[in-house]
Amino acid sequence: MRLSIGVALVVAFLCVAAASCDAGEEALPSRQIRVTGEAVVKVVPDEVILRLGTETSDKSLSQAKTMSVQRVKAVTGALKKAGIDPKHIQTDFIHIQPRYKYDYSQQSFIGYFVRNTVEVTIQDLTEFESILSAALEAGANYVHGIQFRTSELRKHRDEARTLALKAAREKANDMAATLNQKVGKPVTIAESPGMWWSSYDHHWGSRRQSQAQNIAQEAAPADALLGETTAPGQIGVRAQVQVTFELE
């Protein structure tokens, strides 16, 4: 009986040890290299999003709102007259704010300020300046934003993604070769969100470019003539990927 118990204990110990070894081997990290690839395809924009603002004020709230409605109608009417399809004109939001003038311990009511935003999509960029002038003359008080973009975003972002993946492979090969290693098949592929495109006036934050392999490709000539003072040039359709490769 004692011999059987001793043999059983030894067998159990060997099983636990073997399981621990197997678990330890599985926990060991595989030989991998992880890199980031980035690419930018430059294209000439073929449409522009124009965001305009109107503002009216009066001590009477109803009067301020009535004036605001009239001004928005005048602006949208001018846009339609300029040839803009009504489906490309959108009133975004309305904002009402009471304002006061402060003088030491006293305050006096100035009036209610009513603001509206009108967004218009211009597909003929040669008409951009004349349409903007017409809207301002009709009563628009502010230009909140001018955003040039491409209507073929899907096509260009697919191209940028392909270039980014090639850049990632090239970077991995270069890094591995420096250490006398060889890159194998990809293990994981991830794409960074929110990197597809930027308008000409969008400021991208600082990047640690040394960590990314970059590719820039011209997709169209930058010879579009928009007018004497408007020249948006090109916009960048951007893609970034992270790829992990096996090391052979």
Residues 55-95 pLDDT 10s:
999 999 999 999 999 999 999 999 999 999 999 999 987 89
Find the angle CA(139)-CA(99)-CA(133) to the nearest 5 degrees.
Answer: 15
pLDDT over 70 at 3, yes or no: no
Whole-number percent of the chain with pLDDT over 90 = 55
Positions of E strands within the chain:
32-43, 47-58, 89-103, 106-122, 142-149, 183-191, 197-198, 212-218, 235-247
**Domain spanning 29-44+152-247: CATH superfamily:** Protein of unknown function (DUF541), domain 1 (3.30.110.170)
Tell me what pLDDT residue 44 has. Answer: 87
Tell me what pLDDT residue 218 has. Answer: 45
How is the chain split into domains, by residue range? Answer: 29-44+152-247, 47-149
State the average pLDDT for the chain: 79
Tell me what pLDDT residue 29 has. Answer: 58
Nearest to 41 by CA among 151, 162, 142: 162
Band of pLDDT at residue 194, cut at 50, 70 and 90: low
Tell me what pLDDT residue 153 has. Answer: 85
Distance between CA atoms of residues 35 and 171, nearest Å: 7
pLDDT over 60 at 5, yes or no: no
Strand partners, 240: 38
Q: Which one of 1.10.220.70, 3.30.70.2970, 3.30.300.160, 1.10.1040.10 gives the CATH number of domain 47-149? A: 3.30.70.2970
- Per residue in 221-241, pLDDT (tens digit) is 333 333 444 556 788 888 999
Helix axes 61-81, 128-138, angle to 10 degrees: 150
pLDDT over 50 at 28, yes or no: no
- Per residue in 134-192, pLDDT (tens digit) is 999 999 999 999 888 888 888 989 999 999 999 999 999 999 999 999 999 999 999 98
Asked if 204 contacts 212 with a C-beta cutoff of 8 angstroms, the reply is: no
Distance between CA atoms of residues 122 and 148, nearest Å: 9
Tell me what pLDDT residue 207 has. Answer: 34
Pairwise pLDDT comparison (88 vs 27), residue with the higher score: 88
Distance between CA atoms of residues 101 and 99, nearest Å: 7
Band of pLDDT at residue 13, cut at 50, 70 and 90: very low
Is-same-fold flag (29-44+152-247; 47-149)?
Answer: no
Ramachandran angles phi, psi of 42, nearest 5°: -95, 130
How buried is 244 (Cβ within 10 angstroms: 0-12 exposed, 13-18 middle, 19+ buried)?
Answer: middle
